[in-house]
Amino acid sequence: MDHGKIQLVILISLTFMVSSTLAGPEIGGFLGTDNRWRPGGEDGYTWNESQLGIKLDMRSADAIFHSESRIRYSGFPDVETASHLHNSDNIQPWRFEMYEAYVDIYGLLLDNLDLRIGKQRVTWGTADKLNVVDNLNPDDLEDILDFGRKIPTMSLRFDYYPGDFTITGVAIPVFTPARSLSTSWETPISFPLPPELTLRTLDDEIILPENRPQDSATLGLKIKNTLLGYDLSLSYVYGRDDWALPTIAEIIPVDTLGTTDVHLTLEYPKQHIAGMDIAGTIGDIGIWAEGAVFFPEEKIYTNVTSPNGTQKQLVLDDAPYFKYVIGGDYTFRNGLYLNAQYLHGFFTDRGVDNLEDYFFVAIEKKFFHEELKVRATFAAEIADFDDIGNHSAYFGGPELTYYPVDNVEIVMGGLLLEGNSSTQFGQFSKNDEIYIQVNYSF
């Protein structure tokens, strides 16, 4: 029995055990399909997924058990030899995911102290998916269409309510790295070489932190209050960056003509993050803003070793750098909805001199008694305002959602990209996609 099936059996057993002590189970979930096609590239179909999610909540007087599990059939047949035809996992790949599973305990020791323990998603920030203070859970970029997705982690969280304030503390004992883009979007790791050298192969090795508190733990603290009608929070996080940086580069000569192999070693540096977020309204306009100062614990160098010796290249300075996002939304009298945000520093941007600027605009309108929703999004990445023509990218597209019956939605849309290859999104300018999704919730 493989690992995913073992997890599924364990979860079903635990569910029956917990249900014997907590009354009133509430069961919900969803079923969704998602298919994508890249008409302009060689990849053809890039995404093929069916997903079944089950949500379970059970309550007692002072506790709530919550879990959300997903069975995902995704990908394409992986058949290379005749022996693979005997294995259903090669013909129809699937996996089981325990997305969340935690227990809330209310009034622990004190009436105004609550505890949540288990695998959970701790969400901080007020912006619409483009949060810069949401740094406890690692980034999940598996699906490029799902901005802001994070990986829930095993955590201990407490919420204390002294008067008008809410004080939240979070401890995550084990480090979890970010999940990178899917294979149809990933770009090869690069390393700059002197012009007289030619790269033959590049491979890499990632070193995770030791599984002990001083190396692996992440700690967070947040204080929240309402001031003059605005929700205001101050936060602090100490832990490791969930994206690895190269600390060693071995340049290995292959011949006398300058052909070389390169071996990279990547590690996860420690950092402190101080954040602030606010949300409220001005008239009928909803507004929000977030800002976070990142304090790298030390300078990060790449030690470049070659037959000529060892040199150091600075990858990340220890100077603090500031990311922020501001945005707002408004619904016009005719039902037209507008959402706009400006972001300084994307999820993967690091360092004072490497923060780019991004603009996001979404417009949507519902028709036919809200059975049909039309949505259009536009985004721009500006890497250099002094030379926008050569350092920018643009992406977005239309989306049509139809609600034929209750709890069912059919979504059709497209993602269009254009820009310079030097930008994060411009390098994917040939990756335009068309997608169709069908979702049912219960």
pLDDT band at 23 (very low <50, low <70, confident <90, very high): low
Q: Which residue has the higher pLDDT, 337 or 6?
A: 337
Give the helix/strand (H/E) hosting 12.
Answer: helix 3-19
User: What is the pLDDT, as a whole number, of residue 3?
Assistant: 56
User: What is the pLDDT, as a whole number, of residue 22?
Assistant: 53
Q: Give yes or no for residue 184 having a pLDDT over 90.
A: no
Q: Give yes or no for residue 5 having a pLDDT over 80.
A: no
Chain CA centroid to CA 405, Å: 31
| Cα separation, 285 vs 266, whole angstroms | 45
Beta carbons within 8 Å of 192's beta carbon, 6+ residues apart: none
Lowest mean pLDDT across 38-47, 60-69, 374-383, 386-395:
38-47
For residues 375 and 399, is the Cβ–Cβ distance under 8 A? yes
232-270 pLDDT, tens digit each: 999 999 999 999 999 999 999 998 888 999 999 999 999
| Cα separation, 273 vs 268, whole angstroms | 15
**CA-wise closest residue to 35 among 394, 437, 426, 362:** 437
The DSSP symbol for 139 reads B
Long-range contacts of range 117-122, CB-CB < 8 Å, 24 or more positions apart?
117/155, 117/156, 117/157, 118/154, 118/155, 119/152, 119/153, 119/154, 119/155, 120/152, 120/153, 120/155, 120/157, 121/150, 121/152, 122/155, 122/157, 122/170, 122/220
| Cα separation, 235 vs 221, whole angstroms | 6
For residues 44 and 56, is the Cβ–Cβ distance under 8 A? no
Q: Give yes or no for residue 8 having a pLDDT over 80.
A: no
User: What is the pLDDT, as a whole number, of residue 301?
Assistant: 95
User: What is the pLDDT, as a whole number, of residue 75?
Assistant: 87
Backbone angles phi, psi at 86, to 5 degrees: -90, -10
Q: Which residue has the higher pLDDT, 110 or 2?
A: 110
**CA-wise closest residue to 51 among 7, 1, 17, 95:** 95
186-222 pLDDT, tens digit each: 776 778 888 888 899 999 999 999 999 999 999 999 9
Question: Between vectors from CA 336 to CA 330 and to CA 337, what angle results, nearest 5°?
Answer: 40
Q: Give yes or no for residue 361 having a pLDDT over 60.
A: yes
| Cα separation, 240 vs 174, whole angstroms | 11
pLDDT band at 425 (very low <50, low <70, confident <90, very high): very high
For range 140-154, the mean pLDDT: 92
Q: What is the rounded average pLDDT for all residues in the chain?
A: 92
Lowest mean pLDDT across 83-92, 169-178, 376-385:
83-92
pLDDT band at 374 (very low <50, low <70, confident <90, very high): very high
End-to-end alpha-carbon separation of the chain, Å? 30
Q: Give yes or no for residue 89 having a pLDDT over 90.
A: no
pLDDT band at 351 (very low <50, low <70, confident <90, very high): very high
Q: Give yes or no for residue 74 having a pLDDT over 70.
A: yes
Chain CA centroid to CA 309, Å: 39
pTM check: above 0.85: yes
User: What is the pLDDT, as a whole number, of residue 12?
Assistant: 55
Pairing status of strand 259-267 against strand 198-207: parallel
For residues 363 and 337, is the Cβ–Cβ distance under 8 A? yes
User: What is the pLDDT, as a whole number, of residue 145?
Assistant: 84
| Cα separation, 120 vs 72, whole angstroms | 19
Q: Give yes or no for residue 7 having a pLDDT over 70.
A: no
Q: Give yes or no for residue 146 having a pLDDT over 90.
A: no
For range 359-374, the mean pLDDT: 97
For residues 392 and 382, is the Cβ–Cβ distance under 8 A? yes
Beta carbons within 8 Å of 273's beta carbon, 6+ residues apart: 133, 135, 235, 236, 237, 238, 292, 293, 294, 295
Structure tokens at 40: 């302009």
| Cα separation, 379 vs 399, whole angstroms | 14
User: What is the pLDDT, as a whole number, of residue 190?
Assistant: 75
| Cα separation, 432 vs 416, whole angstroms | 5
| Cα separation, 242 vs 294, whole angstroms | 13
For range 94-107, the mean pLDDT: 95
Q: Give yes or no for residue 19 having a pLDDT over 80.
A: no
**CA-wise closest residue to 433 among 409, 417, 422:** 417
Lowest mean pLDDT across 64-68, 254-258, 259-263, 396-400:
254-258
For range 380-397, the mean pLDDT: 95
Burial 371-404 (b: 16+ CB within 10 A, else e): eebebebebbbbbeeeeeeebbbbbbbebebebe
Instruction: Identify residue 419 by its one-letter amino acid code.
Output: G
Structure tokens at 331: 């619904």
HSE (side-chain half, CA atoms, 13 Å) at 304: 13
